[in-house]
Amino acid sequence: MSNSLSLPRETLLKLYTTMLKIRQFEERVAGLLTGQPEIICPVHLYTGQEAVATGVCANLRDDDYVFSTHRSHGHYIAKGGDLKALMAELFGKATGCSGGRGGSMHLAAPEIGLPGSSAIVGGTVPLAVGTALASVMQEKDSVSVAFFGDGAVNEGVWYESLNFASLRKLPVVFVCENNLYSTHMPIALTLANTDIYKKAAMFDMPGVRVDGNDVVAVFKAARKAIRAARQGKGPSLLECMTYRWHGHVGPNYDLDKGLRNEQEVKQWIERCPVKRFEESLLTSGIISSAEKQNLYKLVDDEIESALKFARESPYPEKDTVLEHVFSL
């Protein structure tokens, strides 16, 4: 774990709170997907990757843009999204952040700088480049962040986006959440060179690999890249090494599929980003055990309030089925 004392206490507590909120929310949702599920839309859980979204988004302003993926809950929460609107969206309710029309994979909250997420692999990377270009044309200093997984590096649009962003020195940061698997395929079976951060050299932009389970390391790397982008120095590529605990989709661990073994999952769970950071804060005296327990309660109460809100919210009216549908 990076030296936690190198950041102000207020920043450290903000990082910890956000990570805890993501973790507790995702694990509560996992429970709602098991047994007789209350949530029936496909859900790609972010458990295990909390440090990435948290460390990056803590450096962003309200007018900066974040573009997410099918695994979008963490980015939404880290950017300041409302838990009630998120939970309601998972339930398909009208009060959801996408009006009950998007579900887990298609969250939209433009009011917090999250125009939308998409299940298309690599699909939002060029959108981030587009908003970065718009910021330059409008003479704004807003920064765009494109989150994507290691699988997106197999898409042609990924290379086109990085090339154009570097060519025009656009204010965009490309953040690869390398969790070692593209759906169910190990990264070594999809990429001849698995050092994704080194691909930045092809586009004459900075590329760095960080421990994606170390929120302080992610925060510092993202701060440097975002500052450079805001100052007109162009894009950067961050490769954050991390691991999703649950399977590609749903609350299970995919151990029955023979795609990864129990020992591997256990080793990564032992490197839990939340617990590592929590222990560092306790050891250094940044928080006390009583403060930790109180924060857990506050977060869990907020999540339960969001769940109550979602359960009690109405579904979209049938006569609104054609609303928000566009045709050319």
Residue 260 pLDDT? 85
Q: How many residues does the chain have?
A: 328
Instruction: Please give the pLDDT value at position 182.
Output: 84
Residue 1 pLDDT: 54
**pLDDT recorded at residue 69:** 96
Per the CB < 8 A criterion, the answer to whether 39 and 31 are in contact is: no
Residue with tokens 């979204």: 53
Please give the pLDDT value at position 324: 80
Architecture label for domain 4-320: 3-Layer(aba) Sandwich (3.40)
Sign of the Cα pseudo-torsion (55, 30, 110, 173, in order):
positive
Mean pLDDT (10-residue bins), the chain, 328 residues: 73 98 98 94 96 98 96 97 98 96 94 92 96 97 97 95 98 96 85 94 97 97 98 98 93 83 92 96 96 97 98 93 78
pTM: 0.94
Structure-token pair, residue 188? 């070594």
Taking residue 217's Cβ as centre, other Cβ atoms within 10 Å add up to: 19
Which residues, including other chains, have CB under 8 Å from residue 221's CB and lie 6 or more apart?
55, 208, 210, 238
The two tokens of residue 261 are 């073994």
Interior angle at CA 83, CA 79 and CA 86, nearest 5: 90
Tokens of 289: 């055990």
How many other CB atoms are found less than 10 A from the CB of residue 153?
24
pLDDT in the model for residue 323: 84
What per-residue confidence (pLDDT) applies to 5? 60
DSSP code per residue over 204-246: TS-EEEEETT-HHHHHHHHHHHHHHHHTT---EEEEEE---SS
Q: Which of 221, 132, 218 is nearest to 169 (CA)?
A: 132
- CA–centroid distance for 305 within its chain: 23
Distance CA 211, CA 90 (A): 30
pLDDT the model gives residue 55: 98
| Confidence (pLDDT) at 246 | 93
C-beta of residue 311 within 8 angstroms of C-beta of residue 50: no
